[in-house]
Amino acid sequence: MVLAEQFGTPLWVMDEATIAQAANACKAGLVQSQYPDWQVLYAGKAFLCLAMCRLTEQLGLGLDVVSYGELHTAIEAGLAGESVYLHGNNKSKEEIERALKHNVKIVVDCESELHLVAQCAQSSGTTAQILLRVTPGVEPDTHHYIKTGQHDSKFGLALDETTRIAKLAKDLAPAVALIGLHAHIGSQSHDIGPYLEIIDILADCFVDLRAQGITSLTHLDVGGGLGIAYTESDKATPIYEWSLAIGKKVSESFTERKLPLPKLLVEPGRAIVGTAGVTLYRAGHSKQLPGGVTYLAVDGGMADNPRPVTYQAKYTACVANRQSTQGKKITLVGKYCESGDVLIRDVALDAQPGDLIAVFGTGAYNYSMSSNYNRTGRPACVLVKDGLANIIIERENADHLLRQDRIPDYLRAKNARNCAV
């Protein structure tokens, strides 16, 4: 209530203690597994800004980035490039050059990208430390838009291509140093099984590569993707159990194959920040249709949370400004000009116009996937710690939306207030 009054709505609220708890639980699982050498990389695509980068470092996490913008944020936040990994299936020369300048490791996605990385490294006189992303052919039980490990995925190298590309990487030395393999099978998965499967598959790749004389691999990155509970029906696996199982399995799998244990990397994003986020909305108009459906519209929607419209993601909510009972079922809709802009369908919520509505579990892939649809500024984001809230992302206002606009001379009107250059 106080936050909404102080900072306005919609408002993304992130709880630092919840983020720290998840990060520490992930690390604790790896400690408990007695795996000797590991690093947790926070997958910045879930939620990234300068403050989140600082927090990542404070929590002892590395970072996985996928774009120039995420890389720039990490560097400007002062993160050491050595603990940053650059992913992506179509990295630009600009992204690769910036990564190399800061000793960021690069997860190579395809053959032509390998050549581009080698070229960039050669012209800057550096060695690119690379991992190859392989497509293990393992599918987690999740929405098909967020599966990435299946055979027809747009990400990574087919398994049977790995040896040939690894040899190529070897030949490209010293521009390129192949240090490891990476796989990521998808997102919002509750099942540990597929992770255990890909560890065996990746260990077999290590064996194949050694047989071909490629002994330089020291890193194994098994990706992220652990799901969180958005609703009661989601049976989320605790991140501690996930990382514990991964640590144990890598030990077993590599020892069984008489391989030295690589540095183990895991890349959770959603499981670190997802449950830490709550979005506060103000309820506006309500409408009861003759068929019985009641719509209650809030002052945000698909532009600040595109997950429901993109892949039918489910959320829960409550009335946050007063005690309320469960109420009859309503459909909570956004204010954007799409019929698909439904935040929660058929939710039992005793909410009235003017109420404050809290939607839970919005810490991941809300801010990071948000847009300015309908020319709407993005909400502010506050980080809450010990009862205090600090703005970490300012609210965008209507003038911010004009910042990048330009009017060609022939369209300028004498009375336009903001004829930017």
Ligand X SMILES: Cc1ncc(COP(=O)(O)O)c(C=O)c1O
Would you tell me which residues interact with ligand X (CB under 6 A)?
A: 43, 45-46, 64, 87, 148, 184, 187-188, 223-226, 267-271, 364
Nearer residue to ligand X within complex by CB, 319 or 364: 364
Residue with nearest beta carbon to ligand X: 269
Q: Give the residue with the Cβ less far from ligand X, 63 or 351.
A: 63
* Cα separation, 277 vs 12, whole angstroms: 7
Shortest reach from residue 37's CB to ligand X, in Å = 20
Tokens at 151, concatenated: 């055979």
Q: How far is the CB of 129 from ligand X (least distance, A)?
A: 17
The amino acid at residue 204 is D
Judged by beta carbon, residue 188 or residue 237, the one nearer ligand X is: 188
Who's near 225: CB < 8 A, 6+ residues apart?
Answer: 140, 142, 184, 185, 186, 187, 188, 189, 268, 270
> For residue 177, which phi and psi values (nearest 5 degrees)?
-120, 115
Q: Which is nearer to ligand X, 40 or 226 (CB)?
A: 226
Q: Enumerate the β-bridge partners of residue 134.
A: 157
Residue 148 CB, shortest distance to ligand X, in Å, is 6
Smallest separation, CB 268 to ligand X (Å): 4
Cα→Cα distances 311→34, 151, 228, 230, 385, Å: 38, 21, 15, 13, 32
Q: Which residue has the tokens 């992930």?
A: 26
Q: Compute the least distance from the CB of residue 279 to ligand X, in Å.
A: 18
Helix runs in 265-318, H state only: 270-273, 307-311
Q: Please, which residue, 27 or 87, has the CB nearer to ligand X?
A: 87
Q: d(Cα 298, Cα 54) in Å, to the nearest integer?
A: 32
Q: Work out how close the CB of 385 gets to ligand X at its nearest, in angstroms, rounded to a whole number.
A: 22
Residues 218, 245: Cα–Cα separation, whole Å:
20
Give whichever of 312 and 390 is closer to ligand X, judged by the CB atom. Answer: 312
Q: Which of 164, 156, 136, 40 is nearest to 88 (CA)?
A: 156
Q: Which of 49, 337, 381, 419 is catalytic?
A: 337
Q: Residue 211 region, left (φ>0) first, then alpha (ψ -120 to 50), else beta?
A: alpha
Handedness of CA 39, 43, 47, 50 (dihedral sign): positive
* 337 noted as active-site residue: yes
Residues with a known catalytic role: 337
